[in-house]
Chain A
Amino acid sequence: MVLKRRIRLFKAGLWILGFTPLAWVFHRFFIGDGLGVNPVAEAQLWGGLTSLTFLLAALSITPLRRLTGWNDLQKVRRLVGLFAFFYVTLHFTIWIGVDQFFAWSYILEDIAERPYIMVGFAAFVLLIPVAMTSTKGWIRRLGKRWVTLHRLVYVSSLLGIIHFFWITKADDRWPIVALMVWVVLMSVRSAWWLKSRSQPARAQGMKKGLSGTPGRA
Chain B
Amino acid sequence: MLIRKRRPGEGDIPSSEITPYELYLDRRRFLAQSATLAGVAVLAPSVLGATEAQEDERTPYEDITHYNNYYEFGTGKEDPAKYSGDFVPRPWAVTVEGECSNPGTFALDDFLKGHEIVEPVYRMRCVEAWSMVIPWRGVRLRDVIMRAQPTGKAEFVEMTTVLRPAQMPGQRRRILPWPYVEGLRLDEAMNELTVLATGIYGKDLLNQNGAPLRLVTPWKYGFKGVKSIVKMRFTSDMPENTWQMMASNEYGFYANVNPEVDHPRWSQARERRIGEFRRRPTMMFNGYGEQVAHMYRGMDLTKWY
On A, residues with C-beta under 8 Å from B are 36-38, 40-41, 97-104, 106, 109-110, 113-117, 166-167, 169-171
Nearest B-chain residue to A39, judged by Cβ: B277
Q: Is the CB of A101 within 8 A of B279?
A: yes
Asked if B25 is an interface residue, CB under 8 A from chain A, the answer is no
Residues on B with C-beta less than 8 A from A104 are 45
Knowing A114-B267, A116-B266, say if A38 contacts B277 (CB, 8 Å). Answer: no
A145 shortest CB reach to chain B, Å: 35
28 A-B contact pairs sorted by A residue (CB < 8 Å):
A36-B66, A36-B78, A37-B66, A38-B77, A38-B130, A38-B274, A40-B272, A41-B272, A98-B277, A101-B41, A101-B45, A101-B279, A102-B38, A102-B45, A103-B45, A103-B49, A106-B269, A110-B266, A113-B262, A114-B266, A115-B265, A116-B265, A167-B265, A169-B75, A170-B175, A171-B71, A171-B75, A171-B175
Q: Is the CB of A101 within 8 A of B77?
A: no
**Distance in angstroms between the alpha carbons of A99 and B271 in the assembled complex:** 10
Q: A37 is contacted by which of B38, B45, B67, B279 (Cβ under 8 Å)? A: B67
Q: A101 is contacted by which of B38, B71, B130 (Cβ under 8 Å)? A: B38
Residues on B with C-beta less than 8 A from A37 are 63, 66-67, 77, 274
**Distance in angstroms between the alpha carbons of A83 and B276 in the assembled complex:** 31
Asked if B42 is an interface residue, CB under 8 A from chain A, the answer is yes
Knowing A114-B266, A167-B265, say if A38 contacts B41 (CB, 8 Å). Answer: no
Q: Is the CB of B75 within 8 A of A101?
A: no
Asked if B270 is an interface residue, CB under 8 A from chain A, the answer is yes
Q: Is the CB of B274 within 8 A of A170?
A: no
On B, residues with C-beta under 8 Å from A are 38, 41-42, 45, 48-49, 63, 66-67, 71, 75, 77-78, 128, 130, 175-176, 246, 262, 265-267, 269-270, 272, 274, 277-279
Knowing A37-B274, A38-B130, A170-B175, say if A114 contacts B265 (CB, 8 Å). Answer: yes
Residues on B with C-beta less than 8 A from A101 are 38, 41, 45, 48, 277-279
**Distance in angstroms between the alpha carbons of A171 and B45 in the assembled complex:** 36
Residues on A with C-beta less than 8 A from B45 are 101-104
**Distance in angstroms between the alpha carbons of A110 and B279 in the assembled complex:** 14
Nearest B-chain residue to A172, judged by Cβ: B175
Q: Is the CB of B265 within 8 A of A170?
A: no
Q: Is the CB of A109 within 8 A of B265?
A: no
Q: Is the CB of B175 within 8 A of A38?
A: no
Q: Is the CB of B67 within 8 A of A106?
A: no
Residues on B with C-beta less than 8 A from A171 are 71, 75, 175
Nearest A-chain residue to B68, judged by Cβ: A37
B25 shortest CB reach to chain A, Å: 18
Q: Is the CB of A170 within 8 A of B266?
A: no
Residues on B with C-beta less than 8 A from A110 are 266-267
A93 shortest CB reach to chain B, Å: 10
Residues on A with C-beta less than 8 A from B38 are 97-98, 101-102
